[in-house]
Amino acid sequence: MRLHADVESRSHRHRRSASTPRAVAPPRTETTGPADARTIAAPQRTAGNAAVARALRGPGDAPVQRAPRRSDSTDSVDSPAFRAEVTFDMQKKVLWDRVNEVHALSRNPGFRKAVAAFLEAVHADVRRAAGGETRTTEVDHGVVDAIITGLQHPHVLGHRLQYRWYVRNQRNEGFYESLAARAREAASHGSVWSKLGAAEPIERAQVGRAVVLESSVQGYLFNGLLFGLPNWSASPTLQALWKQLSQTYSRGLEGWVDAHVLEGRDDTSVLATIEWPELRQRIGRGVEGMNVVVYRPVRDPDRGVHDLEPVDMYQVRSDEDFAALPAVPGDQAWRDRQTAVDREQKTRLTDEVEPRETALDQLADSLEQLAATHGIAKEMFRFRLSETPANTPHATMDA
């Protein structure tokens, strides 16, 4: 069923000046290619000072293990192998830092052991890819399953809860006792996306208690981390993990799920191949359906970037409904446009959406500290809705 858009244009959103510095860790992104698999955009930094790389440490006090240094040309700081090794070291540290922020994960020896084994397998693939080898490490599904098990522990519920909310509130009294109720509320207004990046759904999720895979505990941990690989398919282990992250996130959603898509249905996308099939199986058994919002990219000639304008909405409750969605053009012009939109939305996420959330967190912390000095309960200060209505089917509107 076609539904007309009842969402205002986002053209009024904050503008980023050309001089604004770029953030380091962009989110997961989709690119279009032969298999059109979703890939993760990694910060491919220049090698820089070798002393910085040597100073990087893994979890605890153990030094990062390096490949033996060689005297040939591949040892140059300008070589792909060296850059990949430095990127792996940096992003390994990022991952462990994120894990250590979540107390229930950092204190779980089984989860930590699984993450260490995962990193070892990915590191082997990084070295092989940098050396031009096509052979990859065989997936240890037991390791991937152990990571997912840790993320879905009752004291984590990482497929349903926002990472930032979790880290901010985990020290509160009664936190773990309240997780199940909070998770059910978040799951009733979840979002998925296709071909336009996570910035739009994450920005909407920040108002209230919604969740998007990339903002969830399990998605946030690994988001933006390619570990020096050219793409996620260069490591079957990384690919298998993200498939499980997408599947388990989709299985945890309830009610009406919002889907944000660029110009229509792409049958090779993660939405079409993993997320919608998971949701479809649960129609009438926890999931009511999917509200698909179709966006059109409109280029702003003054800023040189695209604004995303919602132009159509559809209710999807069956494979027939999904197949009836308008298909993306799929030609080279569309692929170029999608690549540009994806790149711009990564910048928007790291330069606008996430810093705004950080600023609100800092303001909340300051006000809570001020309130505490005057004996005022911190619950008096709220920067999010205390209750957020669950997603509902969008009302039909006549043209």
Predicted local distance difference test score (pLDDT) of residue 290? 96
Predicted local distance difference test score (pLDDT) of residue 373? 82
How does strand 287-300 pair with strand 305-316? antiparallel
CA dist., res. 195 & res. 260, Å (int): 9
CA dist., res. 84 & res. 126, Å (int): 7
Taking the domains of the chain in order of start, what are their residue ranges? 2-8+21-380
Predicted local distance difference test score (pLDDT) of residue 193? 92
Predicted local distance difference test score (pLDDT) of residue 196? 87
Burial of 118 (0-12, 13-18, 19+ CB in 10 A): buried
pLDDT in tens, the chain (399 residues): 444 444 333 334 443 433 444 333 433 434 333 333 343 333 333 333 333 333 344 444 444 444 444 444 445 677 888 999 999 999 999 999 999 999 999 999 999 999 999 999 999 999 999 988 888 889 999 999 999 999 999 999 999 999 998 998 999 999 999 999 999 998 988 999 999 888 777 777 665 567 899 999 999 999 989 999 998 889 999 999 999 999 999 999 999 999 999 999 999 999 999 999 999 999 999 999 999 999 999 999 998 899 999 999 999 999 999 999 999 998 999 999 999 998 888 888 788 877 777 777 777 777 777 777 877 765 555 444 444 455 556 544 333
